[in-house]
Amino acid sequence: MRSSLRIIPPIALLAAAALSADEGMWTFDNPPTKLIQQKYNFTLTQQWLDHVRFSSARLNDGGSGSFVSAHGLLLTNHHVARGQLQKSSTPEHDYIKNGFYASDYSQEMKAPDLEVNVLMSFENVTTRVQAAAKGAASPEAQFQAKQKIIADIERESLEKTKLRSDVVTLYQGGEYWLYRYKKYTDARIVFAPEQQAAFFGGDPDNFTYPRYDLDMALFRIYENGKPIDTPNYLKWNSKGAADGELVFVSGHPGSTSRLDTMAQLEFERDVVLPIQLRLLNDRLQVLRRFSASSEEHARQASSRIFGLENSLKAFKGELQGLQDKHTMDTKSADEERFQTAVNNKAELKAKFGNAWKEIAEATRKSQTRIKEQFFHSMDSELGTKAVQIVQWVAEVKKPDGDRLPGYHDAQLESMKFEMLSPAPVYRDLEIARMTGALELDLKELGPNEPFLKALLGGKTPAAFAKEMIGGTKLDDPKVRKALLDGGEAAVNASTDPLIVIARRVDPMRREQIKWFQTNVESIEERAGEQLGQARFAVYGKNAYPDATFTLRLSYGTVKGYPMNGTIAPPITTFYGLYDRAASFGGKGDFELMPRWQKGKTTLDLATPFNFVTTNDIIGGNSGSPVINKAGEIVGLVFDGNIESLVGDYVFDIETNRTVAVHTAGMTEALKKLYNADRLLSEVLGK
């Protein structure tokens, strides 16, 4: 499933020359109108684009969604809603295991800490950002100047419009845009099926196809205690998508690295991904051991295990992609062509010709300290919050432009919403995670590494974690709020063990952040920006920028593909669910929920259930609507197939597929299995 969101500095831009059919995650200011007109004889109108944009939402847990009624009903994936379901669950009410259905408005259940954004406007601020950075003496000065102007632009916009205002770097710094979002923080859970129905096939089937998952959930957005009006919503087309049909996906792809340089790809392949795989494997083992100790522990850890398995499978696929000779040869040939084009023009060569070398040097430098970025972790909710509290009180005193990334005025409100979340914290789980993470840190960096020495102060990870989590009061949101409100004085006076330890290592963390800014990020950012401009110069702007968890439009068709010697079908049906369950004896990941067992005879088993399209998506697109030409919803994106895992780096229309739940399948299940007549009436406008 696609949702694990990894933010990578967007320093890549795609060559128009190399565009595959249906490729691209396009910004709404530069939609692929011409390409769609040519290939599909369909015209994207401004009205269509606006309708789709206002119907689309970003869920800041790391996914996408869309409004499907005039009363704020928001459709997304079960696996995007999963975190909120987990946080709402208790030993008595396990909404992950059993699902949730609000039979009327009063039953709709507030999600603990979900922020939802709708993109209201966007504005090109490239000139202002680039002007501010002009003439800076060093890459780092340039970096700082840009950070400052961006903070200014965001703050001014927030003050003026009251809308969440983010400056987004596109085309590797070729452009900067101010995105303004309407922000909602009162999302209520309306419907979620049982996890086993949403995620039938479990980790084995994750990122694969054919699939049979009801990976859907419904929220309703409230403001001032009332459902919001959403005049722009996607009409529910219960016939759903047909084989060969032109369809669109409007959502928030998290990040891609399609035009990283070869040096960066090799660094990713040889250094970063192997580290990440080791780390994820270890985290997973820790949690599996924890889960095995009791049923309640298993419940507490289940969402994290889900997330780790998901990331592990995704990263393995990415690594395989980078280890594929054909992929790397293609990338290498692309880079050579681009380099030759730059070097063949004296003016371009002088301005941009050095960028590849600078990036290669920065990655080499990065490698000397890269492990610190992964193995200085206490891997716990409260440990993370302690670090944030200590940083927060120091940063907010400074002029906005001088602060650490994340602590600018325009960002504080969303961050605070998260930091003060009332979601439950499980101390046993916290101790298990922190112990496991520190044991891995020691294994990777050794017992004499200065940061770990300072952190642990001679204690074993287990003793340390027990002392920290046993002694802290940070699990109480009121305690966290008091510290934030009390500022540096309160934090300095705190004897909470987690705050004490976060204070102790704070200078070392700051040195680390600074070192990477100076030696890696600022270099890569400047060189990346040069490459972005070089691409404009060589190829023009007939292209899409790498994904940045901002709203994008992709287009494609419902279409099967060659798979393992045969053809994967465009669409699956309920029959296939019952086949796969029976094939595995209804055990484990292939267990049938009692509701599905009992309701089998009421279903039309030939109803389309899941389907695949050629749309170009990536993690973060989970929960995006699949939209037809009429602007109606015909499906719900929930995954990419295994062949798409290399999509972080390259798009191959032959086999790369978006996997979605079909609206016909959702309609049939809601009606016959979940008796969700209230919701069906609402989406069907009855």
Q: What angle do CA 510, 514, 515 make, to 5 degrees?
A: 115
Closest to a copy of itself by CB, 144 vs 655, is 655
Tell whether residue 46 is a contact of a copy of itself (CB under 8 A). no
Kindly indicate which of the ranges 156-164, 484-492, 521-529, 573-581 contains the residues binding a copy of itself, using the contact rule CB under 8 A. 573-581
Tell whether residue 578 is a contact of a copy of itself (CB under 8 A). yes
- The residue behind tokens 């000139």 is 127
Give CA–CA dist 188/114, Å, rounded.
9
User: Least separation, in Å, of the C-beta of 74 and a copy of itself?
Assistant: 30
User: Least separation, in Å, of the C-beta of 641 and a copy of itself?
Assistant: 8
User: Least separation, in Å, of the C-beta of 605 and a copy of itself?
Assistant: 7
User: Least separation, in Å, of the C-beta of 400 and a copy of itself?
Assistant: 46
Closest to a copy of itself by CB, 26 vs 209, is 209
Of 48, 105, 536, 575, the residue at the interface with a copy of itself (CB under 8 A) is: 575
Count of residues touching a copy of itself (by CB under 8 A) = 34
Residues in 633-652 that interact with a copy of itself by CB under 8 A:
641-642
User: Least separation, in Å, of the C-beta of 199 and a copy of itself?
Assistant: 13
Closest to a copy of itself by CB, 58 vs 595, is 595
Yes or no: say if 12 and 258 are a contact pair by the CB < 8 Å rule.
yes
Letters for 237-266 (x = contact with a copy of itself by CB under 8 A, - = none) are ------x-----------------------
User: Least separation, in Å, of the C-beta of 492 and a copy of itself?
Assistant: 52
Closest to a copy of itself by CB, 313 vs 403, is 313
Give CA–CA dist 321/331, Å, rounded.
11
Closest to a copy of itself by CB, 311 vs 494, is 311
Residues in 170-209 that interact with a copy of itself by CB under 8 A:
201, 204-205, 207-208
Of 90, 138, 332, 583, the residue at the interface with a copy of itself (CB under 8 A) is: 583
Q: What angle do CA 373, 433, 471 make, to 5 degrees?
A: 105
Give CA–CA dist 132/39, Å, rounded.
41
Give CA–CA dist 437/30, Å, rounded.
44
Closest to a copy of itself by CB, 335 vs 589, is 589
Give CA–CA dist 562/654, Å, rounded.
8
Q: Token pair of 120, please?
A: 């209201």
Give the pairing of strands 186-192 and 217-223: antiparallel
Yes or no: say if 12 and 359 are a contact pair by the CB < 8 Å rule.
no
Kindly indicate which of the ranges 153-161, 458-466, 577-585, 621-629 contains the residues binding a copy of itself, using the contact rule CB under 8 A. 577-585
> CA distances (Å), 615 to each of 74, 249, 273, 659, in order?
22, 7, 26, 9
Q: What is the dihedral of CA 542, 555, 648, 4, to 10 degrees?
A: 130
Of 292, 350, 454, 606, the residue at the interface with a copy of itself (CB under 8 A) is: 606
Letters for 303-322 (x = contact with a copy of itself by CB under 8 A, - = none) are ----------x---x-----
Closest to a copy of itself by CB, 295 vs 604, is 604
Yes or no: say if 524 and 359 are a contact pair by the CB < 8 Å rule.
yes
- For residue 638, the 8-state DSSP code is E
Closest to a copy of itself by CB, 582 vs 630, is 582
> CA distances (Å), 450 to each of 376, 390, 439, 446, 510, in order?
11, 20, 15, 10, 14
Closest to a copy of itself by CB, 317 vs 461, is 317
Closest to a copy of itself by CB, 53 vs 79, is 79
**End-to-end distance of the chain based on CA atoms, in angstroms?**
33
Yes or no: say if 520 and 366 are a contact pair by the CB < 8 Å rule.
yes
Give CA–CA dist 255/197, Å, rounded.
29
Yes or no: say if 136 and 142 are a contact pair by the CB < 8 Å rule.
yes
Residues in 503-562 that interact with a copy of itself by CB under 8 A:
560
Give CA–CA dist 512/369, Å, rounded.
9
User: Least separation, in Å, of the C-beta of 592 and a copy of itself?
Assistant: 11
Closest to a copy of itself by CB, 224 vs 566, is 566
User: Least separation, in Å, of the C-beta of 326 and a copy of itself?
Assistant: 13
Kindly indicate which of the ranges 264-272, 391-399, 570-578, 619-627 contains the residues binding a copy of itself, using the contact rule CB under 8 A. 570-578
Tell whether residue 580 is a contact of a copy of itself (CB under 8 A). yes
Kindly indicate which of the ranges 97-105, 353-361, 565-573, 671-679 contains the residues binding a copy of itself, using the contact rule CB under 8 A. 565-573
- The residue behind tokens 């309708």 is 51
* Cβ neighbours for 347, distance < 8 A, ≥ 6 positions apart: none
Give CA–CA dist 55/72, Å, rounded.
10
Give CA–CA dist 502/388, Å, rounded.
9
Q: Token pair of 391, please?
A: 């940083």
Tell whether residue 399 is a contact of a copy of itself (CB under 8 A). no
Closest to a copy of itself by CB, 399 vs 585, is 585
Task: Report the sign of the C-alpha dihedral through residues 548, 551, 556, 560, in that order.
Answer: positive
* Residues paired with residue 137 on neighbouring β-strands, in sequence order: none
> CA distances (Å), 2 to each of 203, 313, 361, in order?
12, 10, 32
Of 84, 276, 303, 573, the residue at the interface with a copy of itself (CB under 8 A) is: 573
User: Least separation, in Å, of the C-beta of 437 and a copy of itself?
Assistant: 28
Tell whether residue 225 is a contact of a copy of itself (CB under 8 A). no
Of 569, 591, 599, 684, the residue at the interface with a copy of itself (CB under 8 A) is: 569
Of 210, 251, 253, 321, the residue at the interface with a copy of itself (CB under 8 A) is: 210
Strands (E), 548-671: 552-557, 561-563, 566-568, 571-573, 608-613, 625-627, 632-640, 658-662
Of 277, 360, 462, 605, the residue at the interface with a copy of itself (CB under 8 A) is: 605
Of 261, 548, 572, 621, the residue at the interface with a copy of itself (CB under 8 A) is: 572
User: Least separation, in Å, of the C-beta of 580 and a copy of itself?
Assistant: 7
User: Least separation, in Å, of the C-beta of 565 and a copy of itself?
Assistant: 3
User: Least separation, in Å, of the C-beta of 661 and a copy of itself?
Assistant: 15
* Exposed / middle / buried, residue 422 (Cβ in 10 Å: 0-12, 13-18, 19+): exposed
User: Least separation, in Å, of the C-beta of 652 and a copy of itself?
Assistant: 15
Kindly indicate which of the ranges 44-52, 148-156, 572-580, 613-621 contains the residues binding a copy of itself, using the contact rule CB under 8 A. 572-580
Task: Pick the closest to residue 682 from 226, 251, 220, 224 (CA basis).
Answer: 220
Of 16, 136, 415, 563, the residue at the interface with a copy of itself (CB under 8 A) is: 563
Backbone angles phi, psi at 184, to 5 degrees: -120, 140
User: Least separation, in Å, of the C-beta of 277 and a copy of itself?
Assistant: 16
Residues in 108-127 that interact with a copy of itself by CB under 8 A:
none
Concatenating the DSSP letter of every residue in 536-571 gives HHHH-S-S-BPP-SS-EEEEEEB--EEETTEEE-SE
Which residues contact a copy of itself (rule: CB under 8 A)? Answer: 201, 204-205, 207-208, 210, 243, 313, 317, 560, 563-567, 569-573, 575-576, 578-580, 582-585, 590, 605-606, 641-642
